[in-house]
Chains A and B, each alone.
Chain A
């Protein structure tokens, strides 16, 4: 801060100071809120950590009656359903973004993007209902086919109930697709025209131009979109709770019911009577918090690691 403001009028400097303290307070409030949340999660879960220690994270029993608690099935459910969602929505989202940004006429692209963004605004409970009425019977219908032809893989064995990991992954992929598509499209549209022309003038086809110029240029932005979507998928509660089957077990089969961290919090927090149960749930909440935090940090690190991002302020 420079102190050479002798020329500036007194009122202006007072206004400046007011503004500075105002925004400082706003900034501190955000940081304070996050800190308070972390503190609350830590103190609310201390019984669970002292009872089970770090083994809480890799123990797989969850029994409120005998008061044995372990987070592994939920950690597994959250990670696998999110990974599944990303595996489906990632290529689909980036692919449709390439189409909308590079190939479709601008008016059609804008119209499509409008509808895609509407998809992002659908409340997750509505999507969950859609999952129950469309995806669950759908998965049940196609499962025998998958079991017959891909049954040699451990992922496609067992009894298809309809609800389960695969359905959860599908509903999550629908939820995160709009984020990946619309942000990636935006980033691809920001690729400077002269760069694309340079590739075209070298005799590049449209696809080669995308591969040579647009994708490398937009890489950091697309990665950002994917990780934002992943953060959303990790924390998504309602729709997943409605279709995942809510059974705390670990199974390689994607047809089997599973459970996620967010879903167990939504289902059991209101009914937790014992202190240990409550603290175990808070420990899961804390783990989820750290997981999403870690994922965001990773995303930032990856985005900053790309050459274009480093040069652009």
Chain B
């Protein structure tokens, strides 16, 4: 099973992870294709957040987490990489919008660049503008870049967080239920944005909203109780699932 027009940039091989007692995910094998959107769906507690956190080693911020197996970014095992450098290539957007409250809108987007040092010829202001445009936020905030980020609405804050992640030009963007704290209109904007962004980078998103996965993603993985039950093209997963458990979930029989 592969995508003939692209290649797998990120790959999990035999990945298991757990917090102390028992594994939250078991033996996950999954490909994430370059410049495609991959959705991970499943009921609460199925391990989808654990899986996505392992992809840029954010799981290490929870004490006592153990991981076995391999995650390869362009064929390099990320567990042998410097986590700081890894996270500059694999960015993350979280469930609740989390802009830095003490900073202005501009500084929020610039934060990653100030940390990592500016690359190339472009000025900070240019990169901030580009990133905000990519996140479809620039027109809404261009006159108030120096205002506190917390003055924005929830949906705008989440797009600001996406702009902040984009500013360091990651290869992969991980989104952990990015719309679960947002209203339907803000959600629609983010979905539209993701579809625009996939020309530029690889997107992995966790969602418990099946319609969202069906609308946005190219590939879908269905997880249940720590296992990746089925992984395939989104249209196939939603129309002709091979596993009866997937069938049950997408038809709403549980979850």
A residues apposed to B, CB below 8 Å: 105-106, 192, 194-205, 208, 212-213, 216-217, 219, 307-308, 311
Q: Which of chain B's residues 146-204 have a Cβ closer than 8 Å to chain A?
A: 148, 150, 161, 164-165, 168
A interface secondary structure, majority: helix
Residues A212 and B111 in contact, CB atoms below 8 Å apart: yes
Residues B111 and A202 in contact, CB atoms below 8 Å apart: yes
Given contacts A213-B100, A307-B148, A308-B102, contact A197 B112 (CB under 8 A): no
0/1 interface trace, chain B 83-97, chain A, CB 8 Å (1 if under): 011011001101010
Indicate whether B74 reaches chain A with its CB closer than 8 angstroms. no
**Closest A residue to B90 using CB positions:** A201
Contacts of A311 in B (CB 8 A): 101, 148, 150
Contacts of A205 in B (CB 8 A): 84
Residues A197 and B58 in contact, CB atoms below 8 Å apart: yes
Contacts of A217 in B (CB 8 A): 101-102
Indicate whether B1 reaches chain A with its CB closer than 8 angstroms. no
A198 to B85, CA, bound (A): 15
Partner of B85, one of A106, A203, A219: A203
Contacts of A202 in B (CB 8 A): 87-88, 91, 111-112, 115-116, 164-165, 168
Indicate whether B63 reaches chain A with its CB closer than 8 angstroms. yes
**Minimum distance in angstroms from B151 CB to a CB of chain A:** 10
Contacts of B99 in A (CB 8 A): 198
3 nearest A-B pairs in the assembled complex, by CB-CB distance? A203-B88, A201-B92, A216-B102
Contacts of A219 in B (CB 8 A): 102
**Minimum distance in angstroms from A64 CB to a CB of chain B:** 53
Partner of A203, one of B96, B98, B112, B150: B112
Cβ contacts A to B, 15 pairs, < 8 Å: A106-B63, A194-B96, A194-B98, A195-B101, A197-B61, A197-B98, A198-B99, A198-B100, A201-B58, A203-B85, A203-B112, A203-B168, A204-B115, A216-B100, A307-B148
**Minimum distance in angstroms from A212 CB to a CB of chain B:** 6
Residues B115 and A195 in contact, CB atoms below 8 Å apart: no
Residues A201 and B115 in contact, CB atoms below 8 Å apart: no
Contacts of B84 in A (CB 8 A): 203-205
Number of chain B residues whose Cβ lies closer than 8 Å to a Cβ of chain A: 28
Contacts of A199 in B (CB 8 A): 100, 111
Residues A212 and B100 in contact, CB atoms below 8 Å apart: yes
B residues apposed to A, CB below 8 Å: 56, 58, 61, 63, 84-85, 87-88, 91-92, 94, 96, 98-103, 111-112, 115-116, 148, 150, 161, 164-165, 168
**Closest B residue to A310 using CB positions:** B148
**Closest B residue to A193 using CB positions:** B61
A198 to B163, CA, bound (A): 12
**Closest B residue to A217 using CB positions:** B102
A271 to B111, CA, bound (A): 63
Residues B102 and A203 in contact, CB atoms below 8 Å apart: no
A190 to B166, CA, bound (A): 28
Residues B115 and A208 in contact, CB atoms below 8 Å apart: yes
A194 to B97, CA, bound (A): 9
**Closest B residue to A202 using CB positions:** B112
A199 to B58, CA, bound (A): 11
**Minimum distance in angstroms from A5 CB to a CB of chain B:** 38
Residues B94 and A198 in contact, CB atoms below 8 Å apart: yes
A106 to B88, CA, bound (A): 28
Contacts of A200 in B (CB 8 A): 58, 61, 87
Residues B161 and A198 in contact, CB atoms below 8 Å apart: yes
**Closest B residue to A203 using CB positions:** B88
Given contacts A217-B102, A307-B148, A311-B101, contact A203 B115 (CB under 8 A): yes
Residues B91 and A195 in contact, CB atoms below 8 Å apart: no
**Further contacts, 4 of them, CB under 8 A, given A200-B87, A201-B92, A219-B102:** A196-B61, A198-B94, A202-B115, A203-B168
Contacts of B116 in A (CB 8 A): 202-203
**Closest B residue to A216 using CB positions:** B102
A198 to B88, CA, bound (A): 12
A196 to B98, CA, bound (A): 9
Contacts of B91 in A (CB 8 A): 201-202
A308 to B150, CA, bound (A): 10
Contacts of A213 in B (CB 8 A): 100
Contacts of A308 in B (CB 8 A): 101-102
**Minimum distance in angstroms from B213 CB to a CB of chain A:** 22
**Minimum distance in angstroms from A213 CB to a CB of chain B:** 6
Residues B102 and A307 in contact, CB atoms below 8 Å apart: yes
A212 to B102, CA, bound (A): 9
From B111, B116, B164, B168, residue with most partner A Cβ within 10 Å? B111
